[in-house]
């Protein structure tokens, strides 16, 4: 048994059961191998066989975050289980360009998720889990491959995706999202690709990794400051989910508006029990509350970090 999980070169088998994924992208490890993580819940998945070129000419390894789960007894695995065995979601295999195998017979899968034969696993020093309230309300992580900002967005701290992915994230155009990479986190406003913006890409990363065209990941277009904060390069993959508090602020404004109007209506309907000054004070406080909430929402509609 290896002393460190970083020393093991894993063979990536497909995930069979995902009912306990909690909206995350998962890797399943045998109990003894998982024990090497020392209760770390997230890991970085990398391949060492393929490198992605960057703007400054320095090659980087493709990498992505994965959530750790244990092997399921009901998977009925037929492949040999050793310390180098792991089950990896197809999306994660596509992210780093890893070849997939069937855990029930050990054969190579027909889905072309990459050319790399082995992957490396490194414990992540932080958790990605959102607040418990966010988990209760519900959210969905999505994976995107990083691309440079579109024309007109340079030096603007926003990100863009194709419009259909905003719906999948549960946000409107311009909503705020949390972006997680192996080396960092960013909170940004996410907009749809504009009608006059060219979102075409030659998809060099997937070609380099050996991923078939029908499995290409959606792109997220980022300015350089965001990429620097996340410490990612074009071609690498990030996790994205909606940011809870921006959603709550917007809904709170709607609820507060209705509540204030209701309270003011009740006050005016029984105004004879209130003195003139008390009526003015309650009305003024209600208006100030509404203005404060509106200004807060306006501020957060412009600033996202």
Residues 71, 133, 138, 231, CA torsion sign: negative
Q: C-alpha 37: how far from its chain's center?
A: 22
| pLDDT given at position 153 | 78
Is the pLDDT at 215 greater than 60, yes or no? yes
| pLDDT given at position 301 | 45
Q: Which residue bears the tokens 């998977």?
A: 75
Is the pLDDT at 229 greater than 70, yes or no? yes
| Crossing angle between the packed helical segments 276-302 and 244-269, to the nearest 10 degrees | 160
Where are the domains positioned within the chain?
5-123, 132-244, 246-302
* CATH of the structural domain 132-244, one choice from 2.40.40.20, 3.40.50.720, 2.120.10.30, 3.40.640.10: 2.40.40.20
Structure tokens at 239: 């996790």
Of 255 and 23, the structure prediction assigns the larger pLDDT to 23
pTM of the model: 0.79
Q: Does domain 5-123 have CATH number 2.160.10.10?
A: no
User: pLDDT (tens digit, 9 = 90+) per residue, 118-140?
Assistant: 999 999 988 886 655 555 556 78
| pLDDT given at position 267 | 61
Contact 86, 121 (CB under 8 A): yes
User: What's the pLDDT band for 52 if we cut at 50, 70, 90?
Assistant: confident
Is the pLDDT at 244 greater than 60, yes or no? yes
| Helix runs in 211-243, H state only | 224-230
What's the average model confidence in pLDDT over 224-243? 91
| HSE-CB of 264 using CA atoms within 13 angstroms | 16
User: pLDDT (tens digit, 9 = 90+) per residue, 79-124?
Assistant: 678 888 999 999 999 999 999 999 888 899 999 999 999 999 999 9
What's the average model confidence in pLDDT over 186-195? 87
Of 94 and 260, the structure prediction assigns the larger pLDDT to 94
Of 253 and 286, the structure prediction assigns the larger pLDDT to 286
User: pLDDT (tens digit, 9 = 90+) per residue, 53-78?
Assistant: 665 666 788 999 999 998 887 777 77
Q: Average model confidence (pLDDT) for the chain? A: 80
Do the domains 132-244 and 5-123 match in fold?
yes
């Amino acid at each position: 048994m290896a002393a460190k999980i970083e020393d093991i070169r894993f063979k990536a088998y497909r995930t069979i059961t995902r009912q306990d994924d909690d909206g995350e992208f998962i890797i399943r490890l045998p109990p003894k191998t998982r024990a090497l993580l020392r209760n770390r819940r997230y890991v970085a998945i990398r391949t060492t066989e393929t490198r992605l070129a960057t703007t400054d000419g320095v090659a980087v390894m493709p990498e992505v975050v994965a959530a750790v789960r244990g092997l399921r007894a009901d998977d009925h695995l037929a492949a040999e289980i050793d310390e180098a065995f792991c089950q990896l979601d197809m999306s994660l295999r596509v992210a780093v360009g890893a070849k997939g195998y069937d855990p029930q017979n050990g054969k190579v899968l027909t889905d072309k998720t990459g050319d790399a034969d082995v992957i490396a696993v490194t414990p992540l020093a932080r958790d990605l889990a959102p607040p418990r309230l966010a988990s209760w309300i519900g959210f969905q992580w999505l994976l995107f491959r990083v691309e440079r900002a579109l024309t007109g967005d340079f030096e603007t701290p926003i990100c863009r995706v194709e419009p259909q992915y905003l719906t999948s994230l549960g946000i409107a155009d311009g909503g705020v999202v949390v972006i997680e990479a192996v080396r960092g986190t960013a909170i940004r406003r996410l907009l749809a690709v504009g009608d006059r913006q060219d979102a075409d890409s030659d998809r060099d990363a997937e070609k380099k990794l050996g991923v078939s065209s029908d499995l290409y990941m959606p792109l997220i277009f980022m300015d350089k400051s965001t990429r620097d904060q996340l410490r990612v390069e074009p071609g690498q993959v990030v996790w994205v989910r909606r940011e809870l508090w921006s959603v709550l602020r917007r809904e709170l404004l709607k609820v507060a508006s209705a509540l204030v109007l209701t309270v003011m209506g009740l006050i005016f309907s029984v105004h004879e029990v209130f003195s003139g000054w008390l009526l003015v004070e309650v009305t003024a406080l209600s208006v100030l509350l509404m203005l404060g909430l509106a200004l807060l929402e306006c501020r957060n509609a412009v600033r996202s970090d």
